[in-house]
A = this chain, B = another copy of it.
Amino acid sequence: MPSPRQVFIAVIGTGGVGKAFLSQLSQLASTLSRSPSNPTTISLIWVSTSKKALYHNDYQPLSNWETSLPTSSTPPLPLPALAEYLVKAPGKVVLVDNTSNQAVADSYPLFLTQGISIVTPNKKAFSSTFALWTSIFSAASNGTGSGGYIFHESSVGAGLPVISTLKELVETGDSVVKIEGVFSGTMSFLFNSFQPVSGGGGKFSAEVAAAKAKGFTEPDPRDDLNGLDVARKLTILARLAGLPIESPTSFPVQSLIPKELESCASGDEFLARLPEFDAQMDELKAAAEKEGKVVRFVGSVDVPKGEVKVGLEKFDTSHPIAALKGSDNIIAFYTKRYGDNPLIIQGAGAGGDVTAMGVTGDLLKVLRLLQ
C-alpha cells in the first residue's frame, strides 16, 4: 500500500450547508484514508464563521470543531491573511466556501492564483459582474489559467448534476439551443401549491405565508419573490453556455413583489399587505386555467438569440414543468443532439444535505485532479 498523500481543507461557513458538508467530509476522510490505490489523509485545518475561527499556526488538524468553535475567541483572519496562511501549508489546499458572501467570492482570484483550489455553492462568485467571472476562470487550472481548480456544482440546483451536464454538452461539441426550468425550491413549492395541475390551490398570499412557516422561504420572503436568486442561477447557466451576461440585472427579471409594496419597511408588513394583491394573482390563474394551463415561475436561456429571462409563464398540464412536485427543481436542456425531447434533470434543488453533496462531489473532483 503506497504511503498516503496529504490534502489540507479550509472551510468557511458553518450554517446548514456548512454543517452538512463537514459531516460528509468526516465520512469521506475515513473512506479516503483506506483507499487501496491512492490513500489520502484529509486534514481539516481551518473552520470559520463571520465572527470566529479555529486553526493552528502549525497546520495541525482540528479535532471536534463543533465543540471548540463556539468557545473560540479567535476572530477570522482577513481574507488576504487567510490566503497567506493557506499557501504556506505543507501540501495542497482546498478552500470550501459554504457562505453566500460577496467578499469571500470576490477573493477567489487571489486564492486561485496562489494554487489554492476552491469548491463552493456560493452563487455570488459566478453571477456578479462578468469581470469577476473572467478573473476567476482566467486564474483557475480548469479555466485558462494555471492556478488552483474551481468547481461550483451546487450553485445551481444544489446537488443535481446541472452544471457538470451543461459543461459536458458544451465541451463535447453539442449546440445548446435552450435551457428552461424551475430553479427555485421556494418558487416551485409556491406555484405547485397555488395552482396544482389537479385544480384547486389557495390564495397566493396564504401560500407565501405557508411556505414561510414551513421554512421554505428566506427569513424575509421578498428575497425569494424578487426573482434575484433565480436570475443569479440563469446568469451562471447562460455564461456556461457561452453568453457574456454582464450581471443578474442585465436581463428581464419579473419580480413578484407588487410595486405598491416595494416600500414596505419589513417582511412582516409586506406579508400583512400581500392579500391586497390576491385578486391579481387569481386572474392570472384563471386565465391559465382557461387555456388548460398552469402558471409557473421559470427561467430560460435562448442561446442563439442571446436572451435570458426570468418570470411567470404558462404551461400545459402535461408539461414536465407543470407536473413538478413539492419543492423540486427541474432543468431541461434543449440541444442539437437531443432534438425535440430535452435532456431533463429533476429533484430537490435546495436543502443542507443535497447542497453539501454537490460540494463534496466537487471536492472529490479536485482530489482526483490534485495528483
By the criterion CB–CB under 8 Å, are A328 and B348 in contact? no
- A145 closest partner in B (C-beta): B37
By the criterion CB–CB under 8 Å, are A354 and B337 in contact? yes
Q: Please give, as numbers and ranges, the residues of chain B lying within 8 Å of A347 by CB-CB distance.
A: 338, 341-344
CB distance from A162 to the nearest CB of B (A): 10
Contact string against B for A residues 307-342, beta-carbon threshold 8 Å, 1 for contact and 0 otherwise: 000000000001010010110100000000111111
Q: Please give, as numbers and ranges, the residues of chain B lying within 8 Å of A345 by CB-CB distance.
A: 161, 343-346
Q: What is the oligomeric copy number?
A: 2
By the criterion CB–CB under 8 Å, are B364 and A168 in contact? yes
Contact string against B for A residues 51-90, beta-carbon threshold 8 Å, 1 for contact and 0 otherwise: 0000000000000000000000000000000000000000
CB distance from A51 to the nearest CB of B (A): 29
CB distance from A28 to the nearest CB of B (A): 7
CB distance from A349 to the nearest CB of B (A): 10
Q: Please give, as numbers and ranges, the residues of chain B lying within 8 Å of A171 by CB-CB distance.
A: 361, 364
Q: Please give, as numbers and ranges, the residues of chain B lying within 8 Å of A353 by CB-CB distance.
A: 337
Asked if A371 CB lies within 8 Å of chain B CBs, one says yes
- A27 closest partner in B (C-beta): B173
By the criterion CB–CB under 8 Å, are A344 and B346 in contact? yes
- Number of A residues near B (Cβ < 8 Å) is 53
Asked if A249 CB lies within 8 Å of chain B CBs, one says no
- A160: which of B146, B323, B343 is its contact (CB, 8 Å)? B343
Q: Please give, as numbers and ranges, the residues of chain B lying within 8 Å of A113 by CB-CB distance.
A: none
A–B Cβ pairs within 8 angstroms, 16 of them:
A24-B172, A24-B173, A37-B141, A37-B146, A159-B172, A159-B337, A168-B361, A172-B357, A172-B360, A323-B323, A325-B341, A326-B341, A341-B347, A341-B348, A343-B347, A345-B346
Please give the residue numbers on chain A whose beta carbons come within 8 Å of chain B beta carbons, in ascending order. 24, 27-28, 31, 35-38, 141-146, 159-161, 164-165, 168-169, 171-174, 197, 318, 320, 323, 325-326, 328, 337-348, 353-354, 357, 360-361, 364, 368-369, 371
Q: A24-B172, A31-B173, A161-B168 provided; 15 other pairs, C-beta below 8 A?
A: A24-B173, A28-B172, A37-B146, A169-B357, A173-B360, A197-B318, A320-B323, A326-B340, A326-B341, A337-B357, A338-B347, A339-B348, A344-B344, A344-B347, A369-B371
